[in-house]
Structure 1
């Protein structure tokens, strides 16, 4: 088995070098490294960490890189995770600084950037589908669709800040199983009393 520091370095460097388009587009890459490739956590744990990271201020990708490093190797792992994740971007910025003017006026580069946008959209869509599928398995169809509609209304219609919506759903999630068990026990008591 590889050294944990090496795993952090390799995994977060890969997300930094392959990620394009900002934090949300890098989340599926970080998920792949943490859950599928290195098995640092389960998919459910990653979903919980992602929800908490979204509620906190700052760039999501560096928060996840720092958390994963901290989870594996404490403070030094957190620093290594963040540094490994931002290193490719820093190197690219320093190395390509002299070409900024050319890149900003080149039609070829503009076309390449436009071609990447659908790929990022598909990656985010796949991740959203997988999380939605897990929500329906855990909550059931009615609750899953109801919570989706509720979150859509809160975010799009009422313009509630996403951190508040995430906090509300995390708060509900903390009590979901207790409420579900209580409801089932009441239902079974009514059935026995008949």
Structure 2
């Protein structure tokens, strides 16, 4: 592992940390852009796996993903660089913004700043959702992907099941799936 890789990881995740307004979920499309599109450290499928597993583990996704990706690309020093890079802007911004907000919280344009970011984050999350749905369609077909999305949405949003349990159940089902089905599908 070279020091240039460590610096690449640091700068990639520093950009995410600087531009990732809205917290961990808002950072996911930015992480994908750096890790998959720009640096090609992961494929889309690998990124989706990291995201799925990261969502099942406790703690903030904004540090779990950079930590794992940094470790995978650059070992312990890559993990350290990625996590420091992602949290450093958050720490500085929290101190600065909370100081400013507490002093000027009644000023209209300060309130409007937070509200104006929400639609942009919504579009970024919608784009990520569409990209994942396209990949799911390619792997499972549109009908299976749609049914799984509706069932998962129903379990998570209407019944209040934690997403980790839903993802865990799907992983368990995939592990327990009889291997004979793949051979039968391949010969058909």
Q: TM over 0.5, yes or no?
A: yes
Q: Provide the rounded CA distance (Å) in 1 between the counterparts of 2:76 and 2:88.
A: 18
Post-superposition CA distance 1:53-107 (Å, at most 9, x none): 0000000011011111111121222111111111112222334554232342221
* TM-score, normalised relative to structure 2: 0.90
**Number of residue pairs the alignment of both structures matches:** 187
Deviates more, 1:23-32 or 1:137-146: 137-146
Structure 1 residue 173: Cα displacement? 4.0
Q: Which residue of 1 aligns with 2:90?
A: 89
| Aligned match of 1:24 | 25
CA contact (8 A) 2:7 2:81 kept: no
RMSD (Å) for aligned C-alpha atoms? 2.2
What stretches of structure 2 of length at least 5 have no aligned partner?
none
> Residue 143 of structure 1: CA displacement?
1.2
- 1:126 alignment counterpart: 127
Residue matched to 1:7: 8
Q: Which residue of 2 aligns with 1:73?
A: 74
Q: 1:133 to 1:97 in 2, by over 3 A?
A: closer
> 1:52 corresponds to which residue?
53
Bigger shift: 95-104 or 153-162? 95-104
When residues 177 and 140 of structure 1 are mapped into structure 2, their CA distance, relative to the original with a 3 A threshold, is farther
CA displacement 1:25-56 (0-9 Å, x = unmatched): 11000111100111111111000100000000
Shift of 1:176: 6.4
SS of the residue 2:105 aligns to: helix
Q: Distance in 2 between matches of 1:177 and 1:26?
A: 37
- Distance in 2 of aligned mates of 1:178 and 1:103: 62
Which residue does the alignment assign to 2:147?
146
Residue 156 of structure 1, CA deviation:
2.4
The aligned residue for residue 164 of structure 2 is 163
